[in-house]
Amino acid sequence: MQKEVIIWIQSFYKNANGVFKQEAFDNDTPWISLLLIAISAILFVILWYLSRIVMRVSAQALAARSKTMLDDYLVSKKVFSSLAHIVPLSALYSFLSISLFAYPSIFEIASKLIDVVIIITVWVTVNRTISAINMFFAEHENFRDKPIDSYFQIFKIFMGIVFFLLILSEITGQSPASFLAYFGAFSAVILLVFKDTILGFVGSIQLSANDMIRKGDWITMERYGADGNIEEINLTTVKVRNFDRTITTIPTYSFISDSFNNWRGMEESEGRRIKRSMFIEADSICTASDSLIMRLKESQLLGLFLQKEIERIDEYNQQHGLDKQPNRRKFTNIGLFRRYIEFYLKNHAGVNSKMTLMVRQLQPTDKGLPLEIYCFSHSKVWEEYELLMADLFDHFFSVIHEFELHTFESPSGNDIQKLKS
């Protein structure tokens, strides 16, 4: 139907062209041209809407029958709607060649304008096609976490330069190759203008080749105050959605030049690390009393351990004649507390006992003796991880007095008030 309409219009104007060039119409040429321009405008509008309707219906029918999602993205990006504009614009060229038969200079300007509009239309169509292909690959399982946006943006810039040269060529009448010579002279200016783009492109290649970051990775970058998940990786910037729901935009090349933490390794491992210390007052550390040992022998965690250790220590002291010596082997309250924490962690369902697990003393400080708990949780979910760590230390702080130990705490207002009283 569309082709028949175009053929009929062209044949009509060919016949009309021979008639309107007759000398009998020389005196009425302006009015005839205005009439033909009006008719051309009406036919152009009809053909414009007709092309859009035919192309839209055809595209939707194709997308409904096809199994791939690419055509759906092409429809959503209105690629076919842009493509439909080329047909009426091409027909307008034929219309104006007849309507402006008596004004060749005006027709030359109008024809160049139409050519420029057609080039821009093709440019927009190509850009939308690239965006649709980008969306298709971004949703693909193999490319979902890859920074492919950068490569499509580079391709868009390249196509933009090509079409810009075509527009200049059409306006000036010179070959596109002749404009390439000017780029050499302005290379310094071009490098200055596209500095961030070039750095971003190089950075994107290195990030992709080394698999440094992916979409969805949890990263922390102190310089930019970023602490959250990566939402978007494009040519010049990386967008990070922080945990407070704010967005931090970081230049792509900064991931090459600056240091940052990527928590992907933790998320892919078997657990998340717990590393926290309790500060014990040095004055409360002493040899374990008999009453303390007797109480702990009845506990489920330390009962069997103490029975074996008491026999081993007594045997050692007897063999070396240290039963009544100050340097004899004996239990300390902090040593028993360390063992208690270790056994507690190994038997806790939330702690991954297959990974590193230890309770160690650090260098004493003016705040006491740091007793560090180092282990890994099964769950890597932030909320569950924090809940587990809080439960563990709630228990440790509550039972520390059972071992006749005290935690360090800076004097508070209540302590000063007690001293005054």
pLDDT digits (tens, 9 = 90+) for 218-234: 999 988 989 999 988 87
Q: Report if residue 165 sits inside a domain.
A: no
Name the phi and psi angles at 164, rounded to 5: -65, -40
Task: Read off the pLDDT of each residue in 231-255 and give the average, rounded to a whole number.
Answer: 88
Question: Would you state the pLDDT for residue 34?
Answer: 67
Rounded Cα–Cα distance for residues 43 and 133 (Å): 35
Question: Would you state the pLDDT for residue 166?
Answer: 85
Q: Do 263 and 359 share a domain, yes or no?
A: no
Question: Would you state the pLDDT for residue 389?
Answer: 94
Q: Do 295 and 254 share a domain, yes or no?
A: no
Partners of 69 in beta bridges: none
Question: Would you state the pLDDT for residue 31?
Answer: 61
The alpha helices in 21-148, defined as continuous H runs, are 29-65, 70-76, 79-84, 86-99, 104-139
Q: Report if residue 288 sits inside a domain.
A: yes
Q: Report if residue 287 sits inside a domain.
A: yes
Q: Report if residue 189 sits inside a domain.
A: no
**First vs last Cα of the chain: how many Å apart?**
103
Which residue among 91, 117, 144 closes a domain? 144
Name the phi and psi angles at 224, rounded to 5: -105, 5
Question: Would you state the pLDDT for residue 63?
Answer: 65
Task: Read off the pLDDT of each residue in 88-110 and give the average, rounded to a whole number.
Answer: 70
Q: Which of 3-12, 144-153, 249-258 has the lowest mean pLDDT?
A: 3-12
Q: Residue 338 to residues 286, 349, 366, 368: CA-CA distances in angstroms?
A: 14, 19, 21, 16
Question: Would you state the pLDDT for residue 21?
Answer: 45
Q: pLDDT band at 235, cuts 50/70/90?
A: confident
Q: Do 254 and 210 share a domain, yes or no?
A: yes
Residue 66 has pLDDT above 90, yes or no: no
Q: Do 298 and 413 share a domain, yes or no?
A: yes
Residue 19 has pLDDT above 60, yes or no: no
Rounded Cα–Cα distance for residues 110 and 393 (Å): 81
Question: Would you state the pLDDT for residue 18?
Answer: 47
Name the phi and psi angles at 309, rounded to 5: -70, -35
Q: pLDDT band at 171, cuts 50/70/90?
A: confident
Question: Would you state the pLDDT for residue 132?
Answer: 84
Question: Would you state the pLDDT for residue 1?
Answer: 46
Cβ atoms of residues 146 and 210 within 8 Å:
no
Q: Do 310 and 239 share a domain, yes or no?
A: no
Q: Do 224 and 344 share a domain, yes or no?
A: no
Cα four-point dihedral sign 255, 257, 263, 269: positive
Cβ atoms of residues 256 and 203 within 8 Å:
yes
Q: Which of 118-122, 197-201, 398-402 has the lowest mean pLDDT?
A: 197-201
Question: Would you state the pLDDT for residue 122?
Answer: 86
Which residue among 109, 144, 179 closes a domain? 144
Q: pLDDT band at 165, cuts 50/70/90?
A: confident
Instruction: Residue 78: give the domain boundaries.
Output: 2-144
Question: Which of the pair, 48 or 365, is modelled with greater confidence?
Answer: 365
Q: Report if residue 11 sits inside a domain.
A: yes
Q: Do 307 and 232 share a domain, yes or no?
A: no
Q: Do 92 and 131 share a domain, yes or no?
A: yes
Rounded Cα–Cα distance for residues 171 and 265 (Å): 56
Which residues touch 69 (CB under 8 Å, ≥6 apart)?
A: 136, 139
Share of the chain above pLDDT 90, in %: 21
Q: pLDDT band at 5, cuts 50/70/90?
A: very low
Q: Do 231 and 104 share a domain, yes or no?
A: no
Residue 270 has pLDDT above 60, yes or no: yes
Residue 254 has pLDDT above 70, yes or no: yes
Count how many domains the chain has.
3
Task: Read off the pLDDT of each residue in 317-345 and give the average, rounded to a whole number.
Answer: 82
Rounded Cα–Cα distance for residues 302 and 304 (Å): 6
CA dihedral 386, 389, 395, 399 (to 10 degrees): -140
Rounded Cα–Cα distance for residues 95 and 118 (Å): 15
Q: Residue 152 to residues 144, 245, 309: CA-CA distances in angstroms?
A: 14, 28, 68
Which residue among 98, 122, 144 closes a domain? 144
Question: Would you state the pLDDT for residue 196?
Answer: 75
Question: Would you state the pLDDT for residue 279?
Answer: 94
Task: Read off the pLDDT of each residue in 359-370 and give the average, rounded to a whole number.
Answer: 92
Question: Would you state the pLDDT for residue 23?
Answer: 41
Calculate Rg over the CA atoms of the chain. 40
Rounded Cα–Cα distance for residues 24 and 83 (Å): 42
Q: Report if residue 216 sits inside a domain.
A: yes
- Residue reference for tokens 């390439």: 180
Residue 330 has pLDDT above 60, yes or no: yes
Tokens of 364: 């004493």
Cβ atoms of residues 156 and 130 within 8 Å:
yes
Cβ atoms of residues 236 and 224 within 8 Å:
no
At 371, which helix (H) or strand (E)? strand 369-377
Rounded Cα–Cα distance for residues 405 and 283 (Å): 9
CATH number at residue 254: 2.30.30.60
Task: Read off the pLDDT of each residue in 327-342 and give the average, rounded to a whole number.
Answer: 87
Cβ atoms of residues 198 and 241 within 8 Å:
no
Q: pLDDT band at 91, cuts 50/70/90?
A: confident
Residue 68 has pLDDT above 90, yes or no: no
Q: Do 123 and 27 share a domain, yes or no?
A: yes
- Taking only the tens place, the pLDDT of each residue in 377-409 is 999 888 999 999 999 999 999 999 999 899 988
Task: Read off the pLDDT of each residue in 316-323 and give the average, rounded to a whole number.
Answer: 72
Question: Would you state the pLDDT for residue 27?
Answer: 46
Rounded Cα–Cα distance for residues 97 and 78 (Å): 30
Q: pLDDT band at 55, cuts 50/70/90?
A: confident
At 329, which helix (H) or strand (E)? none
Cβ atoms of residues 267 and 380 within 8 Å:
yes
Q: Do 262 and 279 share a domain, yes or no?
A: no
Q: Report if residue 52 sits inside a domain.
A: yes
Q: Report if residue 178 sits inside a domain.
A: no
The alpha helices in 66-103, defined as continuous H runs, are 70-76, 79-84, 86-99
Residue type, 59: A
Question: Which of the pair, 1 or 226, is modelled with greater confidence?
Answer: 226
Q: Do 220 and 284 share a domain, yes or no?
A: no
Rounded Cα–Cα distance for residues 62 and 152 (Å): 25
